[in-house]
Amino acid sequence: MRSIIYFAIDLFVYSWKGSVKYYAWLAFLSFFIMGWAWGNYEQITKGMIVTGLSDQVSWGLYISNFVFLVGVAAAAVTVVFPGYVYKHKPSRDLAVIGEMMAIAAVIMCLLFVVNHMGRPDRAWHMIPSWVPVPVFNGVFNWPNSMLTFDVVVLNGYLALNAVCAFYYLYMKYVGKEINKFFYIPLIYLACVWALSIHTVTAFLLNTMPARAMWHHSILPIKFISTAFAAGPSLIIIALFVLKKYAGLKVTKEAINLLSLIVTWCLGIALFLILSEVVTELYHATEHSYSLSYLMFGKHGLNALVPLFLSAMFLMIVSFCLLLIPSIRKNYKVLPVICVMVFVGIWIDKGMGFVLPGLTPSPIGEFAEYTPSIVEIVNSLGNWAIGIMIFTMLAKVSVGIMNGEIRYSSGELKEIPSVPETKPKADKRGLPWEKSGWGSKSE
């Protein structure tokens, strides 16, 4: 128990220590979090009227980010799976970074869901009726609502990644070997669970027969392929940043494997998009109105056309560049390509997918949606919270892996060079003496 307490304290203290650049980064993120506080106050006090949502377009920026971030969370498996299933040591050494990104991404998902509900107190409806505290029992429509499955798998995935990541760090912290009989089954379960969270999110959409653009069986495959392109792209960017500013040891083999995963998953995603376009528009019917509205506009409404064109440009260009090994292995160019992949998929999978699926409405109404300043501020704040959480989690992870944070049993021993009359040293290193805080008795 003592070691666990020291582990929690050391992680908390270390997460707030850093250089001027580190504090400037946290201050920059805090600026958006302050805007998030204002935006949430406006939405809670005035209601959803402050958003750009309407009866025709009831899902907007919040759900778009939610759908995208579920894929980012699932992408941790692209580091964990090769590391533990295929024994790829460079990936296994970085698996904890992918798990920390999954934790931050799931937290962002839940924040966007709460924003979409309108008020945080409505989240109690997401608590199952079998919770032993009656006052917390909401209207959890299990198992009739697909959203309830999504809530279960997201929270389960969050718990799995938290247990796996912090158990791994704790064992590193105390200098002990991992209990493989406990840890490895959890890793395998987390890999399967990663596929389930995005599959269930796809089922949340494609089980709506009134929405023709979503109602097809290819959607789960498309979601997973885009997730395994955008997520590893973000992991690659994070690894380069952590290597430069936090001293994380990153090998070329790990980066090359992730970039290869991005390349082929992006290619599969583009193939599925092309297949959808041909299927919908070769013999166009009223069921193709949503896709034609996205690609060409309809009845003078064309706000989404620039989004579609920009997403396709970013994805196609980045895919062509990644196909060239010399460019893919150029570590000065690769981060730029990963940013293009990430932004392109965010557009295509977010605003470029959720909004046209709602237009036209089931009774044929066309209405365009523009996010309000409150939605934009809240969305930026949610991203800032998630990035800050990942920054701190990644910092302590690197600190433990590099040996900067470690624990000793605290037993007393003699220091050979010091006479016996001198005080005996604590194996934790007597940080109070090193920092000039005085003696232990003080």
The model's pLDDT over 30-50, given as tens digits with 9 standing for 90+, comes to: 999 999 999 999 999 999 999
The answer, yes or no, to whether residue 149 has pLDDT greater than 90, is no
pLDDT at res. 408: 67
The answer, yes or no, to whether residue 412 has pLDDT greater than 60, is no
The answer, yes or no, to whether residue 415 has pLDDT greater than 80, is no
| Cα gap 381→387, rounded to integer Å | 10
345-365 mean pLDDT: 90
pLDDT at res. 411: 37
Could you tell me the CA-to-CA distances from 62 to 89, 102, 115, 214, 351 in Å, in that order? Answer: 38, 19, 7, 18, 10
pLDDT at res. 299: 85
Residue 128 confidence class, pLDDT cut points 50, 70, 90: low
pLDDT at res. 130: 57
| Cα gap 233→261, rounded to integer Å | 9
Mean pLDDT value across the chain: 86
| Cβ neighbours of residue 78 closer than 8 Å, sequence gap 6 or more | 98, 228, 231, 232, 235, 258, 261
Across 55-59, 138-142, 238-242, 329-333, least confident range? 138-142
Tell me the pLDDT tens digit for each residue of 157-189.
Answer: 999 999 999 999 999 999 889 999 999 999 999
Neighbours of 136 (CB within 10 A): 11
Tell me the pLDDT tens digit for each residue of 184-216.
Answer: 999 999 999 998 898 999 998 988 888 889 988
**Domains in the chain: ranges and CATH:** 2-406 (1.20.1630.10)
Residue 410 confidence class, pLDDT cut points 50, 70, 90: very low
pLDDT at res. 403: 86
pLDDT at res. 132: 56
Across 127-136, 264-273, 292-301, least confident range? 127-136
393-417 mean pLDDT: 70
For tokens 């929405």, the residue is: 211
**Token code pair at residue 427:** 């194996």
402-413 core/surface letters (b: 16 or more CB in 10 A; e: else): eeebebeeeeee
pLDDT at res. 102: 95
pLDDT at res. 379: 96
| Cβ neighbours of residue 151 closer than 8 Å, sequence gap 6 or more | 126
| Cα gap 400→14, rounded to integer Å | 10
Residue 413 confidence class, pLDDT cut points 50, 70, 90: very low
Across 30-34, 246-250, 375-379, least confident range? 246-250
| Cα gap 135→75, rounded to integer Å | 36
| Cβ neighbours of residue 432 closer than 8 Å, sequence gap 6 or more | 438, 439, 440, 442
pLDDT at res. 136: 54
Residue 406 confidence class, pLDDT cut points 50, 70, 90: confident
The answer, yes or no, to whether residue 438 has pLDDT greater than 50, is no
- Own/partner pairs for 431-440, CB < 8 Å, 24+ apart? none
Predicted TM-score (pTM) of this structure: 0.87
14-24 mean pLDDT: 92
| % of the chain exceeding 70 in pLDDT | 88
The answer, yes or no, to whether residue 345 has pLDDT greater than 60, is yes
- Own/partner pairs for 331-334, CB < 8 Å, 24+ apart? 331/240, 331/255, 334/236, 334/255, 334/259
- Own/partner pairs for 253-258, CB < 8 Å, 24+ apart? 253/88, 253/90, 254/79, 254/88, 254/90, 254/91, 254/93, 254/94, 255/331, 255/334, 256/328, 256/329, 257/82, 257/88, 257/90, 257/91, 258/78, 258/79, 258/232
**Token code pair at residue 274:** 């092309």
| Cβ neighbours of residue 424 closer than 8 Å, sequence gap 6 or more | 412, 413, 414, 415
pLDDT at res. 416: 42
The answer, yes or no, to whether residue 430 has pLDDT greater than 90, is no
Residue 431 confidence class, pLDDT cut points 50, 70, 90: very low
pLDDT at res. 421: 47
What ranges in 350-421 are assigned the alpha helix state H?
351-357, 373-401
| Cα gap 237→239, rounded to integer Å | 5
